[in-house]
Structure 1
């Protein structure tokens, strides 16, 4: 069935923080040579148009997406991971968000590699449905939340690791324009695509360090 596109008008912001917290922008690369998720998300935030809808799957990466990706109103951010306490719901939820975005707004989906693999069956639907869509795969070759919560407490990490998946190839086969992102300079083609106003979906397979731990996860690790 074809999803009907609808105009989506967010409710106006009821408040604004005159002194927003300044978040650590990180470094271009982490000490292990992989992307620092903080500088990555900050760079993506500065490339994607302000008129955006953001939907996130769940996992460790929500600490970066929800911190660094600005939205014009609270209901422009859809937090699947925190709502359902589950992962693997990003792609299928993004199909509905893309329908709500219509042709006026860019839909940005942020998923991890673990949750992305679970929801891969719906990736083609999102790529086909989105007028202008962005897929950010935070690819750290692991179930990051489990690594930090349980692996650091002596539990065997082996079942928490994932072979590094080539999401650029997978999502490219479904019709997305795609690229593996090893450093911030690799985002220049993405920037050019955004500025072109060309319809379609761009998939960023971001090879991110798992050694940079989000503040919320640091708090959980203390318990």
Structure 2
């Protein structure tokens, strides 16, 4: 109550915070500034939510992207205006290209202050990054505008920026947020000639393979696809982003694409039909089209536009993966279709490619270790139930092979935009979501210096179960390869990396430098006794990093 006895109104920044919480925001990632500090202050006064402060605006957005991938929920972040937004553009582009739902509450300057030092056309910047834009219009529409941002993030599968002008934030506002209800997005199975033709193709296939992408990575989709695979006797495979979906199934072929095991490649070559659920069939999955050439392709996607992105399928169907697979099972059973006989008997053995390579470590100069051998040792020291995050570099395929995951949500993909330096922040977001389950983050030295060093402090402050492995070859790997492939001097690609383990220790984390097998023993022991962030600095030879 005010001194005169009248009810004191809440103000806009308080209602924004209340609405974020009412709409399910349990964790907010951010960096405060002029245009969002009061909203964040209102948010943290609620004891049932968590605020994670980043040291850079891009990191705040990336943390929310990692959190969204790990949880399957909408990530939420907040930054201020102007340079804060320009700092975050690469992170927004990563989220847009990766189809990751995110709401970014972004401050903006007052419209009447044309000389404001940080004034910039934020709408155009956001559009250029591929993200969506929603304006917080006025105090009466706070809850409505935030609801629109959440719905668009979910339905459009991309970051949506909620533009929050600083001049609105102290205006009186008595809006009460209502429950947010998301529209049903599981499309019904179409009754069409295309579905009938697809069933005919499946019925006639002698060597079908069922392929699941990230769009079919849910528990109900897994159950339905396994049921269909058993019914038609087809092996199961996944794209990289859906890794681990069929863990435990005897005819699980693992990843379909450039990272396929040789035994999986043999069966892909033999196959005559690929039934792809929620997989975009990118050039990485299809090995530049060679894995699908001459085969009949049935592709099922939840959005019509996704059927026109890469390979042209024989039949393209729009529908939910689980609903479609269950309908196919029922219709094939009703037609009394005989199984193919392709996935019968003893399934192929898929020994770890990295373990095989590590069994014969390369003879290298003193002071460096073999990357295959080192990552295999570190994998064996890490609990099998963990989350893997990788930055981008020539080490990345080796890391994906070295640290297999048991479920799609345990692989955080950070390379949708082809940018280095996005790994550690997304790993922090994933670790916040993992409730103490370990997170392994593998980065190169160049990428880690670009986007990792400062956020070690965040990992330490939150005491995260985070294992950071820096593949330190003192170079920018892709550029080193281009120079050496042309027999040119690679000196320009050499960067003289610092002592990362010492830096980690100085910032409060544990650190181990690995130059030998004895050092690897120390690193493995540190993993076994993990009690907070741990950085392992792998010293590698730039001339001996395999490209897979």
| TM-score, normalised via structure 1 length | 0.84
Matched, 1:20 2:350: yes
Aligned equivalent of 2:445, options 113, 125, 128: 113
Query: Structure 2: 5+ residue runs without aligned partners?
Result: 1-29, 31-50, 53-63, 73-216, 220-244, 254-346
Matched, 1:68 2:402: yes
Q: Distance in 2 between matches of 1:11 and 1:128?
A: 33
Matched, 1:41 2:375: yes
* Structure having the higher Rg: 2
Q: How does 1:69-148 map to 2 (within 5 A)?
A: 69-81=403-415, 83-103=416-436, 105-119=437-451, 120-148=453-481
Q: Residues 130 and 148 (structure 1 numbering): CA distance in 2 closer, same or farther, change over 3 Å?
A: farther
Moved more, 157-166 or 34-43: 157-166
- Superposition deviation, residue 205 in structure 1: 0.7
Matched, 1:56 2:386: no
Q: Distance in 2 between matches of 1:25 and 1:192?
A: 23
SS at match of 1:80: coil
What per-residue deviation string (whole Å, max 9, x for no partner) do you get for residues 93-145 of structure 1?
Answer: 11111111122x10111111000100122222133335311010100000112
Aligned residues between the structures:
213
Q: Distance in 2 between matches of 1:75 and 1:30?
A: 37
Q: Distance in 2 between matches of 1:67 and 1:40?
A: 13
What per-residue deviation string (whole Å, max 9, x for no partner) do you get for residues 193-219 of structure 1?
Answer: 3333x4211110110122224243xxx
Q: Distance in 1 between matches of 2:393 and 2:547?
A: 13
Aligned equivalent of 2:493, options 160, 167, 171: 160
Q: Distance in 2 between matches of 1:36 and 1:21?
A: 19
Pick 1 or 2: higher relative contact order, CA cutoff 8 A, min separation 6. Answer: 1
What RMSD in Å do the two structures reach over aligned CA positions? 2.6
**Would the aligned equivalents of 1:28 and 1:184 in 2 still touch at CA under 8 Å?**
no
Moved more, 154-163 or 200-209: 154-163
Query: Structure 1: 5+ residue runs without aligned partners?
Result: 217-223
Q: Distance in 2 between matches of 1:30 and 1:122?
A: 35
Matched, 1:199 2:496: no
| TM-score, normalised via structure 2 length | 0.36
Q: Distance in 1 between matches of 2:365 and 2:521?
A: 23
Q: Distance in 1 between matches of 2:544 and 2:397?
A: 11
SS at match of 1:84: coil
What per-residue deviation string (whole Å, max 9, x for no partner) do you get for residues 43-75 of structure 1?
Answer: 011001111111010011102211111211233
What per-residue deviation string (whole Å, max 9, x for no partner) do you get for residues 144-194 of structure 1?
Answer: 121113432145422210113200111111111111101122132333333
What per-residue deviation string (whole Å, max 9, x for no partner) do you get for residues 8-51 of structure 1?
Answer: 59955236235225413234454233211000110011001111
